[in-house]
Amino acid sequence: DEEFDELCFEFGLELDEITSEKDIISKEKGEEKAKGASDTVLYKIDVPANRYDLLCLEGLVRGLQVFKERINLPRYEKIIPAQGEGQRLIITEETVQVRPHAVAAVLRNITFTKERYDSFIDLQEKLHQNICRRRALVAIGTHDLDTISGPFTFTAKAPSEIKFKPLNQSQEYTASQIMDLYRTDSHLRHYLHLIENKPLYPVIYDSNGVVLSMPPIINGDHTKISVNTRNVFIECTGTDITKAKIVLDIIVTMFSEYCEKPFSVEAAEVLYPNGKTHIYPELAYRKEKVKPELINKKVGISETPSSLAKLLTRMCLKSHVIGNGNNIEIEIPPTRADIIHACDIVEDAAIAYGYNNIQMTIPKTYTIANQLPLNKLTELLRLDLAAAGFTEALTFALCSQEDIADKLGMDISATKAVRIANPKTAEFQVARTTLLPGLLKTIAANRKMPLPLKLFEVSDIVVKDPDTDVGARNYRHFCAVYYNKSPGFEIIHGLLDRVMQLLEVPPNEENGYTIKATEGSAFFPGRCAEIFAKGQSVGKLGVLHPDVITKFELTMPCSALEINIEPFV
């Protein structure tokens, strides 16, 4: 187990845990439920999301064998049948509105066992969840070719016109009835929304009108594959042609090793509505050139070009040196759709070299880290505000529109608030423009606590600012509230004086701070003052208006202070 863990780490994977079905069930549901579950040892391996070729045992074992240099990378080939003998998939123009793309291929004379069959089904499920984005981009259908006869037609019809026996069901249903049938199915109900509200549903027929599948929901029962299936027809339909091609390539490359002629795939012809035809799977090999010094420089090693080529070959990227060692030519196989740019090749070279083998060096740039002055001031203030008897609160940076506008007696347009385009809940519609609502909500949630409640927060607020590149700007605010049977304006005023004393700002007009009577929509008339310091207005303090207090579900008077601390840095 330790050796395998080490091997996974070297290959860039992580062996998450070694467990069994019994262990998993007993952990989640208790020992009672786990009785009778399998004791077979299971390895949970974390595979990076870009490596679709490692999502099944076949691909993983092949990758590790090549990595250990026990086998050479297999060459995948597509066999194009003689004219008129191959399978054809005809796409009609009705599909344009729902799922416009389809690709297909055939695995001939394949030998399944129970394990291989389970792995085949499991790979489809993993691809559905991952690259297919829960079947939204691509849906995979695999069929027993001997039960149907081509050419096949991919079309779209009204739900009432589609009628067939879905997989593992005992009778025929129309498409509308199928949707109702699976509404309660724990697995399939998540995919119904993909076509539910479309006027036409996609469907694939053979030449005798037998339904192969209604993507992306369910296959027909007629064509279901089993351990004894010898010829598999694979179709992938979707809204993204690139992803559909990748998915088809992965499935056929992974399982063609079980065909009579290993690693060979029979191609199928797809006929588009505009009359064009295309042969799938593409199984495209392509060549890239990368300079050895680029790899060495980016990774921080100094290997010879030939040893770099060897490292890359171990990562399933067959490579050799060309042009007097100035370049490495890399052949990218159809299994590696994740190789998009030279940096992906460099990363694979680093994995093969071994991250732990790269010598650590001190960077040539010499810098000393320092705390951001604004954060340093914030930290110092927090300590002294706590010493003054106030309790710190940390509240959400997002709030509802009412919190910062209606409840404070303001109009939302006057707040310059940044809105969230698609808020998940009404509580998180806008970024806060003031810290006060968060503290008042905190008090409302703690009304059972003994009075007085003295809270403060030093955090960022966000307002729109057309002059910045992102269209908004953060300001660091300090807010404090005092909640008791009497307003306690003098306590909040005292806290302001203490903060100014700590910031070494004297109470005078020339170079210090002053407060002047003003009106604020959230404050009681005649009980509100604006604070001026460093020649600018930095905030307000005062007794909150009774309307504001009741809107936040509070019952006692409350006074508050909020200032921007950035001018004091």
Buried b (16+ CB within 10 A) or exposed e, 194-232: bbeeeebbbbbbbeeebbbbbbbbbbbbbbebeeebbbb
Look at residue 115 in the predicted model and tell me its pLDDT.
93
Quote the mean pLDDT of the chain. Answer: 91
What is the CA 171 to chain-centroid distance, rounded? Answer: 39
pLDDT of 34 higher than 80: no
- Rounded CA-CA distance 70/58 in Å is 15
One-letter amino acid at 467 equals: D
Q: Residue 429: CA atoms inside 13 Å, Cβ hemisphere, count?
A: 10
Contacts of 255 (CB under 8 A, 6+ apart): 58, 107, 110, 116, 120, 123
How confident is the model over 100-149, as pLDDT tens digits? 999 999 999 999 999 999 999 999 999 999 999 999 999 999 999 999 98
Task: Say if residues 541 and 529 touch (Cβ distance below 8 Å).
Answer: yes
Look at residue 123 in the predicted model and tell me its pLDDT.
93
Task: Say if residues 393 and 442 touch (Cβ distance below 8 Å).
Answer: yes
pLDDT of 30 higher than 80: no
Lowest pLDDT segment from 325-329, 390-394, 412-416, 456-460: 412-416
pLDDT of 236 higher than 80: yes
Contacts of 58 (CB under 8 A, 6+ apart): 119, 254, 255, 257
- Rounded CA-CA distance 393/456 in Å is 6
pLDDT of 261 higher than 90: yes
Provide mean pLDDT across the span 479-496.
92
Inter-CA distances, 167 with 31, 210, 432, Å: 34, 13, 52
Provide mean pLDDT across the span 464-474.
91
pLDDT of 257 higher than 90: yes
User: What residues form DSSP beta bridges with 17?
Assistant: 44
Look at residue 362 in the predicted model and tell me its pLDDT.
81
Look at residue 422 in the predicted model and tell me its pLDDT.
85
pLDDT of 1 higher than 90: no
Look at residue 364 in the predicted model and tell me its pLDDT.
80
- Rounded CA-CA distance 59/205 in Å is 32
pLDDT of 318 higher than 80: yes
Provide mean pLDDT across the span 231-248.
94
Lowest pLDDT segment from 21-35, 71-85, 294-308, 500-514: 21-35
How many helices, marked H, and strands, marked E, lie in the chain? 15, 27
Task: Say if residues 138 and 247 touch (Cβ distance below 8 Å).
Answer: yes
pLDDT of 35 higher than 80: no
How confident is the model over 414-461, as pLDDT tens digits? 888 898 888 888 888 899 999 999 999 999 999 889 888 999 999 999
- Rounded CA-CA distance 104/233 in Å is 7
User: What residues form DSSP beta bridges with 154?
Assistant: 91, 204
How confident is the model over 179-212, as pLDDT tens digits? 999 999 888 889 999 998 899 999 999 999 999 9
Look at residue 56 in the predicted model and tell me its pLDDT.
92
Residue in this structure with the two tokens 């998540």, named with its chain if needed: 190
Provide mean pLDDT across the span 500-517.
88
Burial of 360 (0-12, 13-18, 19+ CB in 10 A): exposed
Contacts of 558 (CB under 8 A, 6+ apart): 440, 443, 481, 482, 483, 487, 543, 544, 549
pLDDT of 64 higher than 80: yes
User: What residues form DSSP beta bridges with 203?
Assistant: 155
Instruction: Note the residue count of the chain.
Output: 569
pLDDT of 26 higher than 80: no
More confident residue, 287 or 19: 287
More confident residue, 160 or 35: 160
Residue 16: pLDDT band (50, 70, 90) is confident
Task: Say if residues 84 and 197 touch (Cβ distance below 8 Å).
Answer: no
The DSSP symbol for 555 reads -
How confident is the model over 352-362, as pLDDT tens digits? 999 889 998 88
Provide mean pLDDT across the span 50-55.
91
Task: Say if residues 124 and 215 touch (Cβ distance below 8 Å).
Answer: no
- Rounded CA-CA distance 318/340 in Å is 16
pLDDT of 512 higher than 80: yes
- Whether a cis peptide bond, with omega within 30° of 0, leads into 281 is yes
